[in-house]
Amino acid sequence: MIRDASRLNGIPGALIHGRFDVSGPLSTAWQLHKRWTTSRLHILEDAGHGGGNEFMPLVIRTLAEFGKL
Q: What is the pTM assigned to this prediction?
A: 0.84
Taking the C-alpha atoms of residue 44 and residue 57, their distance in angstroms, rounded to an integer, is 11
Predicted confidence at residue 48, as pLDDT, reads: 87
What's residue 4's pLDDT?
Answer: 95
Whether residue 49 has pLDDT greater than 80: yes
- For residue range 3-42, what is the model confidence (pLDDT) as tens digits? 999 999 999 999 999 999 989 999 999 999 999 999 999 9
Note the pLDDT of residue 10.
97
Pseudo-torsion of CA 41, 24, 47, 37, nearest 10°?
0
**60: β partners:** none
Alpha carbon 23 to chain centroid, angstroms: 15
